[in-house]
Structure 1
Amino acid sequence: MNRANIKIQAVILFALAGHGINASADSLPDGVQIHGFASQAMISTDHNNFFGNTENKAGFDFTELGANISWRLNPSLQLSAQAISRRAGETDNGSPRLDFATVDYTIHASENARYGVYLGKIKNPYGLYNETRDVASTRPSILLPQSIYLDRIRNFVLSSPGVAIYGDNTLPIGNISYQFSVIKPDASDGETEGTFLGADRPGKIKADTSYIGRILLEPGNSRFKLALTGVSMRAHYLPGTPDALNSGNIRFDAWVLSGQYNAENWVFTSEYAQNRIDAHGFGTFFLNRTATGSSYYIQGAYHFTPKWSALARYDVTYRDNNDKDGRVFSTLTGAPAFSRFAKDMTVGLGYKLDNHWLLRGEFHHVNGTAWLPYSDNINPATTTRHWNMWLFQAAYRF
């Protein structure tokens, strides 16, 4: 999508925003809510590219535009949908698409319990932030910790066609909520292929029936959040013409343990994930392999005033726990060893102008390239192990 189209979309969204702010409740049918968001970032790196051509220059190729609508038809039935245009360098071209569209049917509701079913394209309950990651102002930082919320496979993780059961119960120990989904993820884009197959191949990855679930506990006064997420995803590869790969199968299993503590001005968050990728049938020795990786981050955010906040985070990714420094992988494939890990130290500052506008600045000092976008860095041999990144973002929502 060219810049002119992006500008046109921005004008349309801000026009809608003005309508959303000024419209009275009587202008919409009962039970209908409309919201929207827009964000524009500037990114610069001293080495490597992230979401565009950013090395030693300022890049403006990270833009998010979206609008959502929900309609409560009756106490048991709600319809929700969101359309988004997301431009992120070569990884996402800004073409409008349906982010999610669900039918939410409440089977039972009482003072202490609620149970229901989701149908449609469902937000996946992954960790603490996945369900709200598409709106910049709901993220704790411009970029979520890439160890857990890898942006280059955002389409694969964010939402999927399927069915889910959910529940919410108030117990003596606190509030417990859960969701279990049967889905078919979107694995067709080049970045997802690069993550699982090392490059954007001539063929296509097709997802098979997969499963994801999460249990979230908020004890007592809700200062704490504890969550456990389980993922089991299956896909197969259909070779193109010509193609050096045979038909192959991919199995991705992961567990994510999440914790958060909310004090008066502080928020401490940490998540740990362990994932296993099992690939076989491709006819190539470096793809026919099994690897168990791990990742985690530790994050603290402090609110100086209602308007000013700061964030610090340490974020670590290992693609293979048996080859954390990547030397074995480099010997087998010729790829840089540092492409198998990443250690990211992040600091950020935010300023909330009002209930609609948020400005942020962020600095990353990174050792390793495990989460660099493939499409922005076509030749891994030209990437650099130690690199820095500066980001500035203006975000708006209504």
Structure 2
Amino acid sequence: MAHKLTIVILLAATLAPGLGQGIELVDGHVQIHGFASQAAINTSDNHYFGDSPDTSFELTELGLNLSYQPDPEWLFSGQLLSRRAGEMYDGTPSLDYALIDHALLADAERRLGVRVGRIKNPIGLYNETRDVPFTRPGIFLPQVIYYDKVRNLFLSSDGAMLYGDLFGPSGNLSLTLSGGQAVIDDNVEWAYLGEDFDGDLESNGVSLKTATLWYSTPAEQLKVGLSAIMMDMDFDAGAASPLDAGSIEVFDWIVSLQYNARDWTLSAEYAQTPTRWKDFGPLFPYEDQVMEGYYLQGAYRLRPNLEIMARYEEGFADRDDRSGRKRSEQVGNVPRYDFFSKIATLGLRWDITQNLMLRLEYQHHDGTYSLSWRENPDPSDLTREWNVFAASISTRF
């Protein structure tokens, strides 16, 4: 399967320069775009997107999106995504987003509208565009905020969103409010319960809500934002489950800052995620904790098509237990360094052509909090300090 996907990507890379920036049909009302990416990942220890100690090619992304805008007030848009990511995702095509956008009011100074369907959650600097390789700051997003181990949970939701923008000479102000159902898969159960227990973790009713407020200067030289997402999940325990039926409450908020100059970009974000587990029974060790993550990232453009990136990030499963000792004692068989991650990253981006990009990346990890328990089910096999060497090739049309 990997070999076939690689052939598809290389063929798309060959054809991409001739396709330009997409396909337009019906006098520009319909646009079709696509992208493909293949990565190679080698780690000194631990499993990261597949059997990475032996070099993994199990990070593959293929996307096809279509938009139809019959007039300025209406937009219909959707994207199919095939994502293979180690044990977390097997490449089965899924609906990344599909929405109807209706602009209720739009002029030079203001805009008001509503979106309905499967909608991207606009939290943080990168969540809305994290599925497209060309819009990410590296092969991997900062894992202490944009967790790939529960990617779908935060990426999008099924519901409705109200958005508004004010445009002025001193800058732009944007506000979004949304409500709907979270998209829950097996990775969410592994991350929040520690295993795939008998039963179902699901979202009932309007269980997810988001709110964002952004300010940017007219040319977006400076961007400042506050994002929040709240969600409730219920676990319907099966007959063989050692856990009782319980619920999980998650409240994630992010403060974001980005400054863009001609040749460089500086980005920083800080997040806290108060999380509460209720009624899972005496065998479940967790009740309340506040996850915490932050990073500082700089990118410098040596040439218009060549960029270097450096980032340092830290994340903790419990901000009141940054060493992980309390959590390790609570669980019993998990090392304390599985409850924190400190990651230093160096990356290189080379846009070979407008539609073909090569990336190289090195990471040094202290701790394993960023790893998926689904890919690393035996805590005794984890190594505290480990390195990542990765390369990716991506194309788009």
Q: Distance in 2 between matches of 1:24 and 1:68?
A: 11
Q: Is the 8 A contact 2:40 2:57 kept in 1?
A: yes
| 1:381 CA drift (Å) | 1.5
| 1:308 CA drift (Å) | 1.1
Q: Distance in 2 between matches of 1:214 and 1:22?
A: 30
Q: Distance in 2 between matches of 1:35 and 1:22?
A: 7
Q: Is the 8 A contact 2:315 2:369 kept in 1?
A: yes
Q: Alignment partner of 2:295: what SS?
A: strand
- For 1:96, give the aligned amino acid: P
| 1:12 CA drift (Å) | 8.1
- For 1:387, give the aligned amino acid: W
1:235 aligns with 2:227: no
1:299 aligns with 2:297: yes
Q: Distance in 2 between matches of 1:180 and 1:24?
A: 32
| 1:278 CA drift (Å) | 0.3
| 1:28 CA drift (Å) | 4.1
The corresponding residue for 2:341 is 342
The corresponding residue for 1:89 is 86
| 1:258 CA drift (Å) | 0.1
Q: Is the 8 A contact 2:84 2:91 kept in 1?
A: yes
| 1:205 CA drift (Å) | 0.8
The corresponding residue for 2:354 is 355
Q: Distance in 1 between matches of 2:394 and 2:23?
A: 24
TM-score (norm 2): 0.95
The corresponding residue for 1:326 is 324
Q: RMSD of the TM alignment (CA)?
A: 1.9
1:114 aligns with 2:103: no
Q: Percent identity?
A: 37
The corresponding residue for 1:182 is 179
Give the 3 Å change call, closer, same or farther, for CA 214–31 of structure 1 in structure 2. same
- For 1:245, give the aligned amino acid: L
Q: Distance in 1 between matches of 2:198 and 2:41?
A: 31
Q: Is the 8 A contact 1:156 1:192 kept in 2?
A: yes
Q: Distance in 2 between matches of 1:295 and 1:30?
A: 42
Match among 145, 150, 153 for residue 150 of structure 2? 153
Following superposition of structure 1 onto structure 2, how do residues 238-277 of structure 1 map, counting pairs within 5 Å? 238-277=236-275
The corresponding residue for 1:49 is 47
The corresponding residue for 1:379 is 378
Match among 187, 196, 199 for residue 203 of structure 1? 199
Q: Alignment partner of 1:217: what SS?
A: strand
- For 1:224, give the aligned amino acid: L
| 1:30 CA drift (Å) | 3.7
- For 2:196, give the aligned amino acid: D
Q: Is the 8 A contact 1:13 1:36 kept in 2?
A: no
Q: Distance in 2 between matches of 1:115 and 1:53?
A: 47
Give the 3 Å change call, closer, same or farther, for CA 82–15 of structure 1 in structure 2. farther
1:393 aligns with 2:383: no
Give the 3 Å change call, closer, same or farther, for CA 261–30 of structure 1 in structure 2. closer
- For 2:328, give the aligned amino acid: S
Give the 3 Å change call, closer, same or farther, for CA 284–6 of structure 1 in structure 2. farther
Q: Distance in 1 between matches of 2:90 and 2:395?
A: 21
**Residue deviations 1:34-78 (CA, integer Å, cap 9, x gap):** 1000000000000101000011x2210100001101000112111
- For 1:191, give the aligned amino acid: N
Q: Distance in 1 between matches of 2:311 and 2:270?
A: 14
Q: Distance in 1 between matches of 2:199 and 2:371?
A: 22
Select between 219-228 and 83-92 the one with higher mean Cα deviation. Answer: 219-228
Q: Is the 8 A contact 1:20 1:35 kept in 2?
A: no
**Residue deviations 1:3-54 (CA, integer Å, cap 9, x gap):** 36635764786698578449875x5454111100000000000010100001
5+ residue gaps, structure 2: none
- Count of aligned positions: 394
5+ residue gaps, structure 1: none
| 1:325 CA drift (Å) | 0.8
Give the 3 Å change call, closer, same or farther, for CA 376–313 of structure 1 in structure 2. same
Q: Alignment partner of 2:90: what SS?
A: coil
Q: Is the 8 A contact 1:20 1:34 kept in 2?
A: no
Q: Distance in 1 between matches of 2:264 and 2:176?
A: 28
Q: Alignment partner of 1:245: what SS?
A: coil
**Residue deviations 1:335-360 (CA, integer Å, cap 9, x gap):** 11111100000001111111101101
TM-score (norm 1): 0.94
- For 1:202, give the aligned amino acid: D
